[in-house]
Structure 1
């Protein structure tokens, strides 16, 4: 069965990826712990309407809790796969066990796991 984690949030990509950059990418499917959020818009051209697809963000692959064992590595794999783009933002994670909270953040082109520090207030 495995340990499941709820993952929420997104990591934005600037400039957004073009169709040519991501059409054959493993991040366009649900095979990894993160996937590309793809947006489509119809643009009028001289030849008629054209569907333009871009990917402005990385998001969790599933909306329900899942086995996010490779989440940090998969975010880094996406960063490495698309040089020339800036990745910013975070993914908030909550495991099945009480108090299992962490985040994936991007700092200087590196995906990092960050855990919170719990501090008890001073007692009188």
Structure 2
């Protein structure tokens, strides 16, 4: 089982910041697959699977990431808005490559990088 503190530390290292209540809900979801992980993986591999899953769920919350931070006195942050699709695919590949038994598959959010398509069919008819 992972803790909120572990998850927060990992996500922050990836430049992902989430409100505490969202993070707690995501950790609960990631911990819901613990039984499957315990049955199929070593503790270290299970932890990595859960962390990669959390990163995917965190990435799905938006596309603003901290790219740099500075020190105590003149605190400043820089954010990055590019490369979301690449980050998503990279995290997903890490998770899928590690989770050979598919423990996390049901919790992976839908791919937000795929375009949504819609169609409209218009027909006009009449009698002569």
Structure 1 length normalisation: TM-score?
A: 0.36
Structure richer in strand, relative to its length? 1
Structure 2 length normalisation: TM-score?
A: 0.36
Bigger radius of gyration among the two: 2
Select the structure with the greater relative contact order (CA < 8 A; seq sep ≥ 6). 1
